[in-house]
Amino acid sequence: MLDKELKSKIDSLWDKFWSGGISNPLQAIEQISYLIFLRKLEDEETKRQQESVLKGEKYKSIFDGSVVVDGKRIECKTCRWSVWSEYPADKILDHVRSNVFPFLKMLGDQDSLYRQYMKDAVFIIPTPSLLIEAVSIINGMHIKEQNRDTQGDIYEYLLSELTTSGKNGQFRTPRHIIKMMVEMVDPRYGDTVADPACGTAGFLVCAYEHILRDNTSKSLIKTDEQGNEYNYKADKLNESQWKFLREEAFHGFDIDQTMVRISLMNMMMHGINAPDIRQLNTLSTRYTETDCYDVVLANPPFKGSIDESEISEEFRIESKKTELLFLELMFNMLRTGGRCAVIVPDGVLFGSSKAHKEVRKLLLKRCRLDGVVSMPSGVFKPYAGVSTAVLVFTKGEPTEKVWFYDMASDGYSLDDKRTLIDGKGDIPDIIKKFKERDSNKFEDRKAKCFTVPIKEIEDNEFDLSISKYKEIEYEEVNYDKPEVILDRVIKMEKEIA
């Protein structure tokens, strides 16, 4: 979550774009993303140059020399944010349109996915005044960021406008929920990680940071004033390991081309040089990958549907409900022994249709369903009030018992305002208890978390709703007899009279 000052700057940026003639929120997000990316691009390049100097290595900057784009030669140094952002109003807009944006589109290798999806990107900021104001606000946001990487939070806050403006109906997964899920599946160096409906690539970026943290010496990790860790250098990895991490470990798919562009920029800004983000409906016949990934993390679209003729023939579950098809898809994507954490609507846990029961049976019989975390309905406000759960499972061995946790708080108020309480709620306890789930101390059905043997779940038609198994302790209340209460009321009336 962002602080009030940074939110205020982003709100101001929205207002400027809206009043400047860019009223479609998705277009505005795309244009803002290009500008944030350009600002970050120079920062990251400066950082890499400084590191090369310290190591005594030669470094060729992307801002060195010149490039030819569509027959026009562009001096790369003029594409630095620090250079062109100082241009006067009569020069800045034309320079960004004619030089900086073409330079941005040709970054990456010739055959890279980045080049492929940026090919049709368009810079549509209409006036020099809007561009100058946007640059000023982004500079202010950058100063506020300081040592913390709030890129994901900035994107999440930007994307909240998609719902509030009635566009697209998409909503983002809160960063602290993403981090909880990543901690639970614990991606490690060597794992390949995928998200079949990646949106802005929040899960992939968080998994990348998790692996960096695990491979950084503790003495190098720093903590900011809010207690957030940063400065993950991954000094324990050698060059070939870094290459794998940046070029082969992370894979994302999304049906929306704009989201693909934003995901690509987001991952590149976090240091992943050649992100594999593809525009593809993973539920369709066009997606054919099976047994490919070690970790799958996702918050796929709820309550969607797909044309029957487009559904992949790989699915055994007969349904057009996307939340059910995505679960089977993730099972298919995983290698044996692979782990998955996914957010599902509550209906998946107890739905009585044949398809609902079949998908739960798949998770319990052909996987080890490690955990079910029931989340309160306010977690996704103000985007949606739907009740959800996190399912964590491992492919390849049957379930013996399932660990349930009844989350009461995620550290924010559960109303539309989502006011900060402590930013943690039950999450640290969920992570700690999840890692201890194989012990025999989770037998109390009145507690926040407990385990249930597979036989009991089978007898309940594979129902996975926590309310089916949790015991509620009722407190006995003794009331006075009716005549005593009546007598008391009469006396009170007389006293009042």
In CATH, what number is assigned to the domain containing residue 117? 1.20.1260.30
- Residue with more model confidence, 5 or 251: 251
d(CA 28, CA 26): 5
Residue 261 lies in a domain: no
pLDDT beyond 80 at 470: yes
- Predicted confidence at residue 325, as pLDDT, reads 93
Residue 311 tokens read as 């559904």
Find the mean pLDDT for residues 102-127. 86
pLDDT beyond 60 at 163: no
pLDDT beyond 60 at 242: yes
- Predicted confidence at residue 148, as pLDDT, reads 42
Task: Please enumerate, as own/partner, the contacts of 320-323 that have beta carbons within 8 Å and a separation of 24 or more.
Answer: 321/355, 322/283, 323/347, 323/348
CA distances from 452 to 327, 336, 345, 408, 420 (A): 22, 24, 21, 20, 33
Q: Within this chain, do residues 147 and 184 fall inside the same structural domain, yes or no?
A: no
pLDDT beyond 80 at 328: yes
- Predicted confidence at residue 165, as pLDDT, reads 42
- Residue with more model confidence, 52 or 359: 359
Helix (H) or strand (E) holding 36: helix 25-55
With beta carbons less than 8 A apart as the criterion, state whether 240 and 218 touch.
no
Assign 153 to helix, strand or coil: helix
Q: Within this chain, do residues 295 and 428 fall inside the same structural domain, yes or no?
A: yes
pLDDT beyond 80 at 360: yes
pLDDT beyond 50 at 464: yes
59-108 pLDDT, tens digit each? 888 899 998 988 899 999 999 999 999 999 999 999 999 999 999 988 87
- Predicted confidence at residue 182, as pLDDT, reads 98
Q: Within this chain, do residues 315 and 387 fall inside the same structural domain, yes or no?
A: yes
Find the mean pLDDT for residues 315-321. 89
Find the mean pLDDT for residues 470-475. 76
Q: Within this chain, do residues 323 and 356 fall inside the same structural domain, yes or no?
A: yes
Total residue count of the chain as it appears in this document = 497
pLDDT beyond 70 at 161: no
pLDDT beyond 50 at 335: yes
Residue percentage of the chain with pLDDT more than 70: 91
Q: Within this chain, do residues 124 and 180 fall inside the same structural domain, yes or no?
A: no
- Predicted confidence at residue 167, as pLDDT, reads 40
Residue percentage of the chain with pLDDT more than 90: 50
Residue 370 lies in a domain: yes
Residue 264 lies in a domain: no
Residue 208 lies in a domain: no
Which residues, in sequence order, are bridge partners of residue 66? 75
- Predicted confidence at residue 16, as pLDDT, reads 85
176: domain CATH number is 3.40.50.150
Which residues span the domain enclosing 338? 171-197+282-468
**CB environment 475-495: b (16+ within 10 A), e (fewer):** eeeeeeeeeeeeeeeeeeeee
Q: Within this chain, do residues 301 and 429 fall inside the same structural domain, yes or no?
A: yes
d(CA 141, CA 425): 28
Q: Within this chain, do residues 91 and 179 fall inside the same structural domain, yes or no?
A: no
Residue 372 tokens read as 């079910």
Alpha-helical segments (H) within 186-221: 202-214
- Predicted confidence at residue 171, as pLDDT, reads 58
449-458 pLDDT, tens digit each? 999 999 999 9
- Residue with more model confidence, 106 or 367: 367
- Predicted confidence at residue 6, as pLDDT, reads 74
Residue 489 lies in a domain: no
Q: Within this chain, do residues 297 and 328 fall inside the same structural domain, yes or no?
A: yes
pLDDT beyond 70 at 474: no
Least confident window among 24-33, 117-126, 185-194, 392-401: 24-33
- Residue with more model confidence, 403 or 28: 403
Tokens 């100097």 correspond to what residue?
53
Highest mean pLDDT: which of 44-48, 112-116, 458-462? 458-462
Residue 36 lies in a domain: yes
Tokens 């029957």 correspond to what residue?
308
Find the mean pLDDT for residues 40-58. 83
The sign of the CA dihedral 326, 448, 365, 292 is positive
pLDDT beyond 60 at 273: yes
- Predicted confidence at residue 166, as pLDDT, reads 38
Highest mean pLDDT: which of 12-21, 32-41, 150-159, 290-299? 290-299
- Residue with more model confidence, 419 or 170: 419
At 411, the amino acid letter reads G
- Predicted confidence at residue 458, as pLDDT, reads 96
Q: Within this chain, do residues 99 and 193 fall inside the same structural domain, yes or no?
A: no
Residue 219 lies in a domain: no
pLDDT beyond 80 at 23: no
pLDDT beyond 90 at 199: no
Distance, first Cα to last Cα, the chain = 57
d(CA 312, CA 328): 11
**Eight-state DSSP code of residue 242:** H
130-157 pLDDT, tens digit each? 999 889 888 877 654 444 445 556 666 7
- Residue with more model confidence, 191 or 320: 191
Find the mean pLDDT for residues 231-255. 92
- Predicted confidence at residue 406, as pLDDT, reads 96
Number of other CB atoms surrounding residue 460 within 10 Å: 14
With beta carbons less than 8 A apart as the criterion, state whether 454 and 401 touch.
yes
- Predicted confidence at residue 112, as pLDDT, reads 80
Q: Within this chain, do residues 146 and 288 fall inside the same structural domain, yes or no?
A: no
Residue 349 lies in a domain: yes
d(CA 96, CA 131): 9
| Angle (CA) 344 348 349, round 5° | 100
Domain count of the fold of the chain: 2
- Residue with more model confidence, 213 or 495: 213
pLDDT beyond 50 at 55: yes
This prediction has a pTM of 0.84
- Kindly report the average pLDDT of the chain as a whole number: 87
Q: Within this chain, do residues 181 and 68 fall inside the same structural domain, yes or no?
A: no
- Predicted confidence at residue 271, as pLDDT, reads 79
Find the mean pLDDT for residues 117-138. 89
Q: Within this chain, do residues 146 and 178 fall inside the same structural domain, yes or no?
A: no
Q: What is the DSSP string of 359-410?
A: HHHHHHHSEEEEEEEEEPGGGGTTT----EEEEEEEETS--SEEEEEE----
Q: Which strands form 367-375's sheet, in the order they lie side by side? A: 276-279, 250-254, 193-195, 293-298, 334-345, 388-395, 367-375, 401-406, 449-453
CA distances from 377 to 153, 383, 400 (A): 21, 11, 29
Tokens 């800045």 correspond to what residue?
92
- Predicted confidence at residue 356, as pLDDT, reads 96
- Predicted confidence at residue 146, as pLDDT, reads 44
